[in-house]
């Protein structure tokens, strides 16, 4: 048996260090008995009872620290002791650098100047916790969903009373004071302000603004349900007013799925009074109505970005309907793909991680294809019976609940899409797979890297049957994002993916292919 002890006179270690020492000692099963403590009479008595009272421990007094342990012959006691002394003498122990308060109140003690609380806690607890933050006059971003509509209304009304931002629930994207929050990209600073009720829609517009040479002042999220009748567009209006009063903002962009008509009117009435130019994208909504209030309507998220940048530069915005490259060249690309298909290949499968981007795809493709199945279809007759099995033309939003129960969102963990890609590739009726690739903070560190194996596998599978699988994607990311944009694009191209500069163009390209096939 090996009995060893370590004593340090007049030594005081804090609980973090002692916990690490205890943890280290518990690692080895061959350590039979151990005592860690100060040399008080009772601790020494305990050491004695455990057979751990060495002479040096006996000689300690209550302000001396000791460790005494007994282990099997298999344990190198000297090594164990070395590890312990190392831990005790380590200047910085990891994890104790940042104090982690247990509650919001104590966080405010640490940072009394805090001005925003970002919540990503389970939805069932969100209402109570968020209310506390609003009570403390903090602006709030609530990433969580599973908050009732009633709770959302109460929180937003309370926030409005206090003049505070209440971004969410279900708000995934915001960029405040040029700081990306939750899932957001790094966008060049500029004079375009955005209020978005659609997460990846906001990301796409902000990314394209950056791409077209513009920049953002503030990007405010409202959460997906803000423009529903029950909520009434409270946050969109508050955000809008703040941007109107903001000196840095010269152009305002509003993004949302088509709101309830009365809400749309309410928003547009307010927009009408605004002296700054306003671009309104009610994705697929009534463009004539928007124009009638003096705002600029949009045909796609990309179009919204183009118009915003044009206005920001003091130019006249024009509809952007086509492609960045020469249409003739696009048609050639279409032809090249179509020629390689087997005659069984006739369908498109859209595998999306971003909800709004999936919506945009569905919007465009439904016009030509009519029947587009989905887990969240435009009309109920096209709801997939089994969301895990595509049917004919299908666009899926992998970020929806049915796919994320107990699993991280696909923007964080691409594995759900990896599996689905292989599945689609083995279906000989599929001609095209369409996908998004969202970068920025919050997203996986290398989403392209995670996908390329399955892309290649899917393509090979189709090739082995004598056909050809077209994979089309767009990357929603900027040079400033933590992922490497260039490397991402290159990886995808090397895997045979056709990259388009925006989701809108990717979808239009696919649309051309589908028209050619039929």
Among 46, 81, 87, 369, binds another protein (CB under 8 A): 46
Q: Is 89 in the site for another protein (CB under 8 A)?
A: no
CB 217 within 8 A of CB 208: no
Contacting range for another protein; rule: CB under 8 A; set: 171-179, 255-263, 365-373, 393-401:
171-179
| Nearest approach, Cβ of residue 33 and another protein (Å) | 13
Give whichever of 28 and 443 is closer to another protein, judged by the CB atom.
443
- At closest approach, how far in Å is the CB of 25 from another protein? 12
For another protein, which is the closer residue by CB, 19 or 371? 19
DSSP collapsed to 3 states, 43-108? HHHHHHHCCCCCHHHHCCCCCCEEEEEEECCCCCHHHHHHHHHHHHHCCCCCCCCCCCCCCHHHHH
* Site for another protein contains 161 (CB under 8 A): no
Q: Please pick, from the candidates 9, 26, 27, 109, the single residue that binds another protein as defined by CB under 8 A.
A: 109
Q: Which of 194, 197, 209, 238 binds another protein (CB under 8 A)?
A: 238
CA distance 455 to 385: 26
Report the half-sphere exposure of 395 (CA within 13 A, side-chain side): 27
Give the nearer residue to another protein in terms of CB position, either 114 or 371: 114
Q: Is residue 1 close enough to count as binding another protein by CB under 8 A? A: no
- Show Cβ contacts of residue 381 under 8 Å, excluding neighbours closer than 6 positions: none
> Binding string to another protein for residues 3 to 42, with x set by CB under 8 A, is what?
-------x-xxxxx-xx----------------xxx-xxx
DSSP 290-354: HHHTTPEE-SSHHHHHHHHHHHHTTPPP----S-SS-HHHHHHHHHHHHTT--TT--EEEEEESS
Nearest residue to 384 via CA among 368, 365, 403, 367: 403
Query: Strand 173-176 to strand 179-182: parallel, antiparallel, or no bridges (unpaired)?
Result: antiparallel
Nearest distance from C-beta of residue 62 to another protein, angstroms? 5
Out of 55, 74, 92, 405, point to the residue binding another protein (CB under 8 A): 92
**Between 166 and 435, whose beta carbon lies closer to another protein?**
166
Site for another protein in 360-419 (CB under 8 A): 412
Using the 8-state DSSP alphabet, how is residue 259 labeled? P
Tell me the site size for another protein, rule CB under 8 A.
Answer: 81
- 442 counts as binding another protein under rule CB under 8 A: yes
- Position 212 contacts another protein (CB under 8 A): no
Residue 245 beta carbon to another protein: minimum distance, rounded to whole angstroms: 5
Binding to another protein by CB under 8 A, coded x per residue (else -) over 136-155, reads -xxx---xx-----------
Q: CB of residue 395 vs another protein: minimum separation in angstroms?
A: 28
**Does 102 participate in binding another protein (rule CB under 8 A)?**
yes
Window contacting another protein (CB under 8 A); options: 76-84, 242-250, 460-468, 484-492: 242-250
- Dihedrals phi, psi of 471, to nearest 5 degrees: -115, 120
Residue 22 is inside which H or E element, if any? helix 15-27
The footprint of another protein on residues 460-489 (CB under 8 A) is 482
C-alpha separations of 100 from 97, 103, 108, 231, 317 in Å: 9, 9, 12, 35, 49
DSSP string across 107-118: HHHH-TT--EEE
Is residue 191 a contact residue for another protein (CB under 8 A)? no
Interface residue with another protein among 82, 89, 115, 324 (CB under 8 A) is: 115
The DSSP element (H or E) to which 31 belongs, if any, is strand 31-38
- Determine, following the binding rule CB under 8 A, whether residue 63 of this chain makes contact with another protein: yes
Q: Which is nearer to another protein, 238 or 513 (CB)?
A: 238
Rounded Cα distance between 477 and 481, Å, is: 7
Could you tell me if 451 and 418 are in contact, meaning their C-beta atoms sit under 8 angstroms apart? yes
C-alpha 7/C-alpha 86 separation (Å) is 14
Among 3, 81, 87, 242, interactor with another protein by CB under 8 A: 242
Contact residue for another protein among 118, 274, 289, 485 (CB under 8 A): 118
């Amino acid at each position: 048996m090996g009995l060893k002890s370590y004593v340090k006179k007049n030594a005081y270690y804090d609980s973090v260090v002692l916990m690490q020492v205890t943890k280290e000692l518990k690692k080895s099963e061959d350590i039979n008995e151990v005592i860690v403590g100060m040399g008080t009479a009772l601790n020494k008595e305990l050491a004695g009872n455990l057979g751990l009272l060495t002479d040096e421990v006996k000689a300690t007094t209550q302000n001396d620290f000791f460790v005494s342990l007994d282990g099997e012959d298999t344990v190198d006691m000297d090594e164990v002791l070395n590890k312990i002394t190392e831990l005790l003498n380590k200047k910085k122990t990891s994890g104790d650098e940042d104090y982690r308060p247990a509650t919001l109140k104590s966080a405010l003690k640490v940072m009394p100047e805090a001005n925003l609380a970002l919540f990503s806690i389970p939805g069932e607890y969100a209402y109570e916790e968020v209310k506390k933050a609003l009570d403390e006059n903090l602006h709030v971003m609530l990433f969580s969903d599973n908050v009732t509509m009633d709770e959302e209304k109460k929180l937003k009304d309370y926030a409005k009373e206090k003049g505070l931002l209440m971004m969410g629930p279900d708000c995934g994207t915001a960029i405040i004071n040029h700081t990306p929050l939750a899932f957001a990209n790094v966008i060049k600073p500029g004079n375009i302000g955005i209020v978005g009720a659609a997460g990846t829609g906001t990301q796409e517009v902000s990314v394209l603004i950056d791409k077209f040479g513009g920049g953002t002042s503030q990007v405010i999220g409202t959460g997906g349900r803000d423009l529903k009748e029950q909520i009434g567009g409270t946050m969109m209006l508050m955000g809008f007013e703040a941007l109107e009063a903001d000196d840095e903002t010269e152009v305002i962009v509003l993004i949302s799925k088509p709101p309830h008509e009365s809400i749309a009117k309410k928003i547009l009435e307010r927009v009408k009074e605004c002296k700054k130019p306003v671009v309104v994208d009610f994705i697929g909504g009534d463009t004539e109505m928007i124009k009638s209030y003096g705002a600029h309507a949009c045909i796609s998220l990309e179009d919204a970005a183009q118009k915003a940048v044009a206005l920001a530069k003091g130019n006249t915005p024009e509809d952007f309907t086509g492609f960045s490259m020469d249409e003739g060249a696009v048609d050639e690309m279409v032809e090249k793909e179509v020629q390689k298909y087997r005659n069984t290949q006739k369908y498109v499968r859209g595998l999306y991680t971003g909800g709004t981007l999936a919506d945009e795809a569905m919007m465009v493709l439904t016009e030509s294809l009519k029947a587009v199945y989905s887990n969240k279809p435009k009309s109920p007759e096209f709801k997939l019976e089994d969301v895990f099995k595509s049917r004919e033309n299908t666009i899926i939003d992998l970020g929806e609940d049915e796919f994320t129960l107990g699993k991280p969102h696909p923007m964080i963990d691409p594995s759900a899409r990896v599996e689905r890609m292989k599945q689609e590739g083995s279906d000989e009726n599929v001609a095209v797979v369409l996908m998004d690739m969202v970068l920025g903070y919050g997203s996986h560190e290398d989403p392209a890297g995670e996908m390329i194996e399955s892309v290649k596998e899917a393509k090979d599978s189709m090739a082995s049957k004598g056909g050809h699988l077209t994979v089309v994607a767009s990357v929603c990311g900027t040079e400033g994002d933590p992922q490497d944009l260039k490397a991402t694009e290159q990886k995808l191209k090397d895997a045979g993916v056709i990259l388009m500069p925006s989701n809108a163009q990717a979808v239009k390209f696919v649309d051309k292919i589908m028209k050619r096939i039929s």
